[in-house]
Amino acid sequence: MKIKLIRSEADYWEALSRYAEIFDARPGTEEKKESEMLEILIEQYEDEILFKKNSGNSEIKILRMELRGYRQHDLCKIFG
């Protein structure tokens, strides 16, 4: 397991690619631990860097929603 901070967009896409490979890892495995750590780093990068730069872009917001597994009706439950 080689985890590093996401400091650039290239690092971000590399992390997303690896996360997609190991997303369905079995609980208790090293790959599951790696996927959980990557998820935290990816979310941090998205929140602090990527989406802050593009906060007015609705397509980015939709992508973010999809990456986190939300659909429009899920948000309707939250916001009414």
Identify the pLDDT of residue 40: 94
**4 found inside a domain:** no
How far from 21 is each of 4, 25, 32, 42, 78, CA to CA, in Å?
17, 9, 11, 14, 31
Q: How far apart are CA 60 and CA 67, in angstroms?
A: 10
Query: Is the pLDDT reported for residue 29 higher than 60?
Result: yes
* Predicted local confidence at residue 55, as pLDDT: 57
- Amino acid, single-letter form, for residue 37: M
- Number of structural domains (the chain) is 1
> Does residue 17 belong to any structural domain of this protein?
yes
pLDDT digits (tens, 9 = 90+) for 45-72: 988 876 666 556 666 667 777 777 777 7
Question: Could you report the per-residue pLDDT of 4-26, keeping only the tens digit for each?
Answer: 999 998 999 999 999 999 989 99
Contact 43, 67 (CB under 8 A): no
Cα(35)–Cα(28) distance, rounded to whole angstroms? 11
CB of 22 within 8 A of CB of 3?
no
| Domain of residue 70, residue span | 9-79
In a domain, 1, yes or no: no
